[in-house]
Structure 1
Amino acid sequence: MPDFAPTELIALFQRAQAAFTDRVDAVGPEQWDDEALPGWTVADLVAHLVSEALWVPPLLAGEPFDLIDGRFPDDTSDLLGDDPLTGWESAADGALAAFAQDRALLHTVHLSRGPVSAGEYIEEMTADLTVHSWDLARATHGDTELDPALVTAALVVADRLPETGVPGLFDPPLDVPRTAPPQVRLLGRYGRRG
């Protein structure tokens, strides 16, 4: 996503949020306890993204991650409440509003791994939403076809990941030929078989 204007980054982030929202909305009442990823239920996956969205406003306001970590509930049911879709949409709206503030993408964000530009942060959030949209759709037997523009943007972020993966966050990449379709390459880079 290099050389994208801030408005383009925000538009991509909004598209990624919308794609994830569609998949959350499609989760059946009986599917929340289904496995989405090893050790994570569908509810855990959605709660993870709710938590990440809740972090956006304070991080963009300059608060360091270590002061934010633990501020929001860890418990999935507390993060999602009685209506998981509403819980997700509320957190997502707050994140989008924070990124859309004038000059927000010119700030530095202090993550657990150190400072990054807000532009890089929104790129990573967009990629995370895109890959987790696929995870959620796969877990709930929904539409696993990802938006090609989001796949292209997420591949830029994926190519920055270490070849060994990121322990606790991303598995090592799978061996996927460079000639494979973009979505397959993206998923493989995040350790998923697409």
Structure 2
Amino acid sequence: MSDFSPVELLELFQRAQNEFTDRVDAVEPGQWDDEALPGWTVADLVAHLVNEALWVPPLLAGEPVDLIEGRFPDGTDDLLGDDPFTGWETAADGALSAFAEDDALKRTVHLSRGPMPAAEYIFEMTADLTVHAWDLASATHGDTSLDGELVTAALVYAERLPEDGVPGLFEPPLGVPPSASPQTRLLARFGRRG
């Protein structure tokens, strides 16, 4: 990944995790069943990112995705447990620790869509966390402003996506004027109106 060094990628990932953690911490008890995305509650969104974080250590250890599937709980309640914030933080800490291992970003992860350099994988996860931090804040009426450096990095990632999105992963982009802010352009690139 020529755009960012391994140290920069790890720092961006940690900042994206922190931004998402702040949004999870701000969820009020009565908001967990509110809609975050079509078909997803706030709890479902957080559980989705818990699940992604749980998969990082075994993927970086070289395990193929088909051996990881089914290892972790798959229901929102099972993933979040009695304390969703702690569930998220525990999974996030494990993912960060795995990415921080000496040669982790030089490895290859084996996803259902094929092998991917770990440096590209952390870059994708950083963009995903950044956009989902906005989703979570938007759903809970929180602070929807995103870290400018994370927005810039996520835009670099987003510009590599196919013009029609990635089915099952990212929505097709929405049109926005060229004068739109970087955050608005980022959200539109992932099918959101910011």
TM-score of the pair, normalised by structure 2: 0.98
Match runs of 1:10-159 below 5 Å: 10-159=10-159
Q: Which moved more, 1:155-164 or 1:139-148?
A: 155-164
Distance 2:52 2:177 in 1: 31
Shift in Å, 1:60 = 0.4
SS in 2 for 1:115: strand
After the TM superposition, list the runs of 4 or more consecutive aligned residues in structure 1 that deviate by more than 4 angstroms: none
AA matched with 1:67: L
Shift of 1:117: 0.5
Task: Note if 1:188 corresponds to 2:192.
Answer: no
State the AA in 2 paired with 1:118.
A
**1: CA distance between counterparts of 2:26 and 2:3?**
34
* Percentage of pairs with the same residue: 79
TM-score by length of 1: 0.98
- TM-superposed deviation, 1:178: 2.9
- What is the CA-CA distance between 1:176 and the residue it aligns to? 1.6
Aligned residue-pair number: 194
Q: Match of 1:45, as an amino acid?
A: L
Distance 1:68 1:135 in 2: 27
Give 3-state SS (helix, strand or coil) of 1:116's partner.
strand
State the secondary structure of the residue aligned to 2:116. strand
Q: Tell me whether 66-75 or 140-149 shows the greater mean CA deviation.
A: 66-75
Q: Which moved more, 1:170-179 or 1:101-110?
A: 170-179
RMSD value over aligned CA atoms? 1.0
1:180 Cα offset (Å): 1.3
In structure 1, runs of 5+ residues without a counterpart are none
